[in-house]
Structure 1
């Protein structure tokens, strides 16, 4: 991701001189240059959408206080409705910077002290609230962990009422604050930090989190296609979310599209046009047109990491072709996004797509780098007239490998099951029985191994001992379903081994 961010800034390096020369030489040169550059961008996106199997994509490019390019590509849903710059998408964790902006607005009004313990704003009896500050939540140095939030994500889906945020925030407080220790904590990414911040906004402002964001951020930035609930977004043309099933895009209709209790951490909706307004404010001291949503000092604070390579307030630093950038990926079920800002070029890029699964991530070390991350970085490279950085395997190539392995392993397991069934159900031939040549211990260990997979799958599915299993079931249902089928086949093979063993022992007694 850091290399991608640098590519974003290099794009700005190219486009800056391009526009400065255009201003001196006349408007026709601007038009010709823009037409040429953005034609390359269109061709690049068309190529990437095919290789990455994206049903729809929206793009916004801004520089300084100008919106340079807005365009939608592909389809928003199965009816063939085209994606436009006004089409809403899920923005995922990009929404964390919106929550941070809300907190900083209240801080500038004197309503929140960033260095005050959160106990001042959150009614909780736990000692951890006495020494964890608002600033630590913003910089994700509270000590909370992401993997421990998964169980909340799974359980809070049933909470759809107006108190969902409060209930989820207090649940996080119960989970983390009673175990917190008063020591300096390193940066650890966790949705829990921003859920608690959203609850603080709600407590301090006297408005619901959603109403506050609409009144104090969306409205002044003219973000008319931005929404805080799924119902609002769906009523105004939300792109249809998709998951990939063995590489094929399938519309998602399940319950995890929107989790109200996690809204401040990643469940807001916006369009490429609206997020372009937001990026303009981020690059112009909090101003968009005649409205200001935050002071220039507040914007700098948002974008500055306390320690390089950690986390600012909704933003992370990176590099694209050695060019410093700040950015944030976003992902929720069926949606992915990436935004980059190249500070020294005052260049910003936002990319949305309406499909996401676990294979979109770069495993194992850069899971925050997703398909839209590569595309946004490539656009910055193009704008800077630089070679597009390598993005590794495309989705088509990844699924070619995955589907090939799935096919080979499936054929192998089916063959071993067939051989076992043939020995078990066919005529008994003691001279050819492999059981007569194996010790009982070896036979029993093989039977146990055949049943072990089914046992673990049942345990993981019926409990939340490992909640990441349930998250994987949501984001990668094809491979999880295949794994379940394979464990059932192995258990069937183990059952036939038991029958074979019983028949073998019975024939020996006769």
Structure 2
């Protein structure tokens, strides 16, 4: 009881919100919780993040879900576990689930050339001529790229042979998926992820699909650090197409429900889930740091499966799983303060101070 009271006290001091607004922790050592939350809040303040929402899942049970700081500074609206954020590239694992579900249904073949599904050749040729860093090394002839190459970020250079994180090509993967399924990508996400996982406070957005009115009223607006060093309201991210790389508005509580549904086999089979988090292999047998929609790396005897999200001057997020411990950490922010500039050719989640706070609390001896 003493430990629980300390936890509730820390919640109140850190957020200015009554403790009743937070879920009581379960299946996580209670003596770790107050110091962990206090450390997260210190990191939040050091990074000039107005609002942060956090969840921990242990044993397929939501063990901790809470908010720190303010979702809306001007109106003094506190961040909570049910505050919606734009999660940027943390949408990629969700998109991979949709893809693998369609593979299970026989609609898609990850290893079939995507020219069979869509106008890839034309796009590839045009994009490869662009000055973008993500077009560098893209070889379009012969047209042998597959969905597996796009979803594993192994499409540049010799397809399947090297990893280079490429959100443009990952986003484009929605086109052959939509062509094969004859349905919008956003509708597929709703059908195969949001509905079966019970993610009612979640939605897709794109140029042709505005955010649902109920979520728009609750969405944490973005913030940035201005030229004076003060935190200021930032412009909303520009509208995008119906792509697989982003376009998801959700809460840490809803993504925790996704995590549970994924691990319980509600969304895809155990075989498909294993394929998602298995690192791709290059032609010479080298393990690459990405599976299908997930970064994959080793850390002190554990495999870490994770994805970050970053909208410059707007939002940031981290979704980190440790399958061997049946443990998950989720954190969303209404600024870019969670982002740690992970390189494009490696997986280095240990450089994230938020990840370190989690690993040192729940994993390290």
TM over 0.5, shorter chain: yes
- Indicate yes or no: 2:302 matched with 1:323: yes
Match of 1:190 among 163, 166, 188: 166
SS of the residue aligned with 1:142?
coil
Quote the Cα distance in structure 1 between the aligned partners of 2:201 and 2:351: 21
Deviations 1:305-336 (A, max 9, x none): 11323321111122445533111111114100
Deviations 1:176-210 (A, max 9, x none): xxxxxx76542221112222221222212222111
Deviations 1:75-115 (A, max 9, x none): 01121111111111111111111111111111110011111
Quote the Cα distance in structure 2 between the aligned partners of 1:369 and 1:249: 28
Quote the Cα distance in structure 1 between the aligned partners of 2:165 and 2:343: 16
Deviations 1:385-426 (A, max 9, x none): 64xxxxxxxxxxxxxxxxxxxxxxxxxxxxxxxxxxxxxxxx
Task: Verify the 8 A CA contact 1:304 1:312 in the aligned structure 2.
Answer: yes
- Indicate yes or no: 2:323 matched with 1:343: yes
Q: Runs of 5+ in structure 2 lacking a partner?
A: 1-24, 123-139, 282-286
Q: Which structure has the greater CA radius of gyration?
A: 1
Match of 1:266 among 229, 239, 246: 246
Match of 1:104 in 2: 100
SS of the residue aligned with 1:86?
coil
Match of 1:58 in 2: 53
Quote the Cα distance in structure 1 between the aligned partners of 2:223 and 2:351: 15
Compared CA separation, residues 51 and 319, structure 1 to 2 (3 A):
farther
SS of the residue aligned with 1:376?
helix
Match of 1:305 in 2: 279
Quote the Cα distance in structure 1 between the aligned partners of 2:190 and 2:96: 14
Match of 1:240 among 200, 204, 221: 221
Quote the Cα distance in structure 1 between the aligned partners of 2:219 and 2:351: 18
Match of 2:62 in 1: 67
Match of 1:251 in 2: 233
Match of 1:115 in 2: 111
Quote the Cα distance in structure 1 between the aligned partners of 2:201 and 2:247: 15
Deviations 1:320-361 (A, max 9, x none): 45533111111114100011111110100101111117x953
Q: Number of residues paired by the alignment?
A: 311
Compared CA separation, residues 122 and 309, structure 1 to 2 (3 A):
same
Cα deviation, residue 303, structure 1 = 0.7
Quote the Cα distance in structure 2 between the aligned partners of 1:124 and 1:260: 19
Match of 1:373 among 328, 352, 358: 352
- Indicate yes or no: 2:28 matched with 1:47: no
Compared CA separation, residues 300 and 258, structure 1 to 2 (3 A):
farther
Match of 2:184 in 1: 208
Cα deviation, residue 141, structure 1 = 1.4
Match of 1:218 among 191, 194, 212: 194
Task: Verify the 8 A CA contact 2:252 2:332 in the aligned structure 1.
Answer: yes
Compared CA separation, residues 363 and 65, structure 1 to 2 (3 A):
closer
SS of the residue aligned with 1:199?
helix
CA RMSD of aligned residues (A): 2.9
Compared CA separation, residues 372 and 38, structure 1 to 2 (3 A):
farther
- Indicate yes or no: 2:105 matched with 1:92: no
Compared CA separation, residues 360 and 60, structure 1 to 2 (3 A):
closer
Task: Verify the 8 A CA contact 2:163 2:288 in the aligned structure 1.
Answer: no
Deviations 1:216-243 (A, max 9, x none): 1111001111111252275241111111
Quote the Cα distance in structure 1 between the aligned partners of 2:349 and 2:273: 26
Compared CA separation, residues 49 and 109, structure 1 to 2 (3 A):
same
Higher strand share: 2
Quote the Cα distance in structure 1 between the aligned partners of 2:362 and 2:256: 17
Quote the Cα distance in structure 1 between the aligned partners of 2:82 and 2:306: 22
Cα deviation, residue 372, structure 1 = 9.9
Task: Verify the 8 A CA contact 1:326 1:341 in the aligned structure 2.
Answer: yes
TM-score normalised to the size of structure 1? 0.56
TM-score normalised to the size of structure 2? 0.77
Task: Verify the 8 A CA contact 2:297 2:347 in the aligned structure 1.
Answer: no
Q: Aligned runs of 1:432-471 on 2, under 5 Å?
A: none
Deviations 1:100-150 (A, max 9, x none): 111111111001111110011113554658411121112111117xxxxxx
Q: Runs of 5+ in structure 1 lacking a partner?
A: 1-29, 145-181, 387-510
